Structure 1
């Protein structure tokens, strides 16, 4: 893709070649190597009082809308060039749609809307441009939606190409049923929440005329712990299990999470600078709540066993140099299976296990909330319910009493 860039003083340039385009498609050059696409609207002239001249003067009425779509400034690989091509095509279609809206408003007519966008291609482009911490969940939502299309006879014909107008409320109902049947616990709710996030953006970008997810929800009991937890005995059973080819960093990191309650996204970024060896404390800021929670910063006391698990290194070195989340999960599942534990254990189960086990051993709920980095007790209460359930199961496991 070769665009002749007439870069202006504000680091922007106009992509639209037709002088009659309104709005015009342009891009702003960013310092991170990307270009942010925007639309410039022209609404004619408006009169505005000038204090300097002491009279009304005519000024051009303009507006700029950033599309949250990005190009690589200097694409180096075939993939980056393909991404630029797809993003530019999406932006041009949005520009066309906005232009039709202006014509409809001003002239009372509308050209036929081009509905040739492949929603799956647009979805993937959205994922590629996404920069927030839950990016892997966006990718997972895409993969699961494609799996749903393939697995559902009624919609299998759309598994490779589906127009935005073909996303219906009936399809969304079927999709939520598929999620609930396939995923245990909060998995279905989490993936559907990310899918709705994508759909909402598609509506905002005029890729979709209306939101087909409105009124369709996946309910969860926020105060119910739905994931499996490891008991203290099972933790010891897992720690005692080794196998050929195990990754020692994955092993150390998961054991650390079992004893400290960290999320995967936090443990993977820990460096030795986070450890106060003199005072035996781990200090870090939670990635999930960074910037929008008073409890984002967490301090966890460390005992000698945990310090030995951490080891020593340079301040900027990662304590646990981990592979991808997918690789960590595969290794964890193999490890759990080799240990003979018949539970569906994900990385986040370590956090849940930590909370349940220390509550079961007498810790109060405020202490647990503080260690987990919860800003209140609402999210911690589900662990007290899990402990109550464990106690009831323990009582029920005794032989029946016949008097």
Structure 2
């Protein structure tokens, strides 16, 4: 396939040259391990007949870069064979590695990978581990990973902790393939998904109590009540503009952010009830935002105070509005599940069915709440 430039027959990795059609030379690695051969093209090129000092210098630099890469690859293979990590890989900053993985990740679950990374950094801060100092592979221990899994479960609800942890393990699997770890340090550690709906639900009576109570930020109050009447997530409500509203037909068209990559149901048309229309208010310029909200954290802080003012003893997050919308439609309004799935932008019934289970749980709780008779 090409001439041998560096290395001996006993080497695992040999630097070779391949002559291109234009006469120049492409440098590549011939890697042999456990009876299998593979090739790594370095995208480093040698000018066949250099005419200038610059060309000769560039050739020397490319040869040196190629040889350095060959040495590293051989070092990685030899250390991995005996269960060791190559010295230069031991100095890899795992946080920088994670960030690089995220920057080059283009699959449809990229937002989940980003969320996992952000929560991992928050976890490290809570553990008093500095983000400005390197976090080496040796620091990513099963003990630390288990604590991160516990942290996710303490901060998040529903399927989110398991989803974030699954993406974290995906990064670790990739790190194993890049020889940062000899084996995955997260092996055997998992988060079990509870198929039931664990987020608190607001009843119509509690929603009215919220409407009557004072909120520190009037825009947060208006937007959250709107979510309770439409089932929209915070990220979608935050991006709504007046161009999304069809005033004459009382409809809202929104491209849901969570499904932007693949689902044909990412574009959702929602009928607006009288309350939702009042919350939107009078029409303004098409590109004006309907709600001028603070950050997500700022919204949650205002929401917490507001829920307290309404004397509601529940843990309410913004996503509870979406869940309350679905459960109230199914349980109180008696809407069929297919209609609710359509309103939520679900492509099937799998995710919507968890709301029917929540309705069943509420019914069971109501029945068992009747005082027992003494017979």
* More off after superposition, 274-283 vs 116-125: 116-125
- Distance in 1 separating the partners of 2:253 and 2:359: 28
Say whether residues 1:288 and 2:262 are aligned partners.
Answer: no
- Distance in 2 separating the partners of 1:128 and 1:291: 17
Per-residue deviation, 1:299: 0.9
Given that 2:76 and 2:86 are in contact with CA atoms closer than 8 Å, whether structure 1 keeps it comes out as no
Say whether residues 1:306 and 2:309 are aligned partners.
Answer: no
- Distance in 1 separating the partners of 2:70 and 2:276: 58
Distance 1:335 1:65, change over 3 A: farther
Aligned partner of 1:212 among 185, 188, 196: 185
Residue in 1 aligned with 2:168? 195
* More off after superposition, 57-66 vs 271-280: 57-66
Query: Residue by residue, what CA displacement relative to the aligned partner does 1:171-224 show, whole Å, maximum 9, x if unpaired?
Result: 3234324444565544532442343344345445554454322332101123x1
Residue in 2 aligned with 1:84? none
Per-residue deviation, 1:125: 6.9
- Distance in 1 separating the partners of 2:26 and 2:100: 35
Per-residue deviation, 1:383: 0.4
The count of residues paired between Structure 1 and Structure 2 equals 320
- Distance in 2 separating the partners of 1:247 and 1:146: 29
Query: Residue by residue, what CA displacement relative to the aligned partner does 1:203-254 show, whole Å, maximum 9, x if unpaired?
Result: 45554454322332101123x10111111111111111014xx222111111
Residue in 1 aligned with 2:236? 266
Given that 1:284 and 1:298 are in contact with CA atoms closer than 8 Å, whether structure 2 keeps it comes out as yes
Query: Residue by residue, what CA displacement relative to the aligned partner does 1:24-78 show, whole Å, maximum 9, x if unpaired?
Result: xxxxxxxxxxxxxxxxx98521699x9xxxxxx9973666789xxxxxxxxxxxx
- Distance in 1 separating the partners of 2:232 and 2:27: 52
Query: Residue by residue, what CA displacement relative to the aligned partner does 1:240-295 show, whole Å, maximum 9, x if unpaired?
Result: 1014xx22211111101011100111111111111111211111111111131121
**Secondary structure at the residue paired with 1:44?**
strand
Distance 1:124 1:399, change over 3 A: same
- Distance in 2 separating the partners of 1:111 and 1:241: 60
Per-residue deviation, 1:121: 5.4
Give TM-score, length-normalised by structure 2. Answer: 0.73
Per-residue deviation, 1:118: 3.8
Given that 1:173 and 1:216 are in contact with CA atoms closer than 8 Å, whether structure 2 keeps it comes out as yes
Residue in 2 aligned with 1:316? 287
The 5-angstrom pairing of residues 92-171 of structure 1 reads 100-101=72-73, 113-114=87-88, 115-120=90-95, 122-123=97-98, 132-134=110-112, 135-147=114-126, 149-150=127-128, 162-171=135-144
Listed as ranges, the gaps of 5+ residues in structure 1 are: 1-19, 22-40, 51-56, 67-94, 151-155
Given that 2:123 and 2:151 are in contact with CA atoms closer than 8 Å, whether structure 1 keeps it comes out as no
Aligned partner of 2:296 among 322, 325, 330: 325
Distance 1:326 1:209, change over 3 A: farther
Residue in 2 aligned with 1:83? none
Give TM-score, length-normalised by structure 1. Answer: 0.68
Distance 1:193 1:346, change over 3 A: farther
Query: Residue by residue, what CA displacement relative to the aligned partner does 1:2-29 show, whole Å, maximum 9, x if unpaired?
Result: xxxxxxxxxxxxxxxxxx99xxxxxxxx
Aligned partner of 1:351 among 306, 322, 331: 322
Query: Residue by residue, what CA displacement relative to the aligned partner does 1:81-136 show, whole Å, maximum 9, x if unpaired?
Result: xxxxxxxxxxxxxx977751156679x99995222334345556767898954545
Residue in 1 aligned with 2:307? 336
Given that 1:47 and 1:58 are in contact with CA atoms closer than 8 Å, whether structure 2 keeps it comes out as yes
- Distance in 1 separating the partners of 2:165 and 2:157: 13
- Distance in 2 separating the partners of 1:98 and 1:395: 72
Aligned partner of 1:60 among 16, 23, 26: 26
Per-residue deviation, 1:357: 0.5
Per-residue deviation, 1:141: 2.4
Say whether residues 1:248 and 2:218 are aligned partners.
Answer: yes
Listed as ranges, the gaps of 5+ residues in structure 2 are: 7-13, 29-39, 44-66
Per-residue deviation, 1:157: 10
Aligned partner of 1:367 among 335, 339, 342: 339
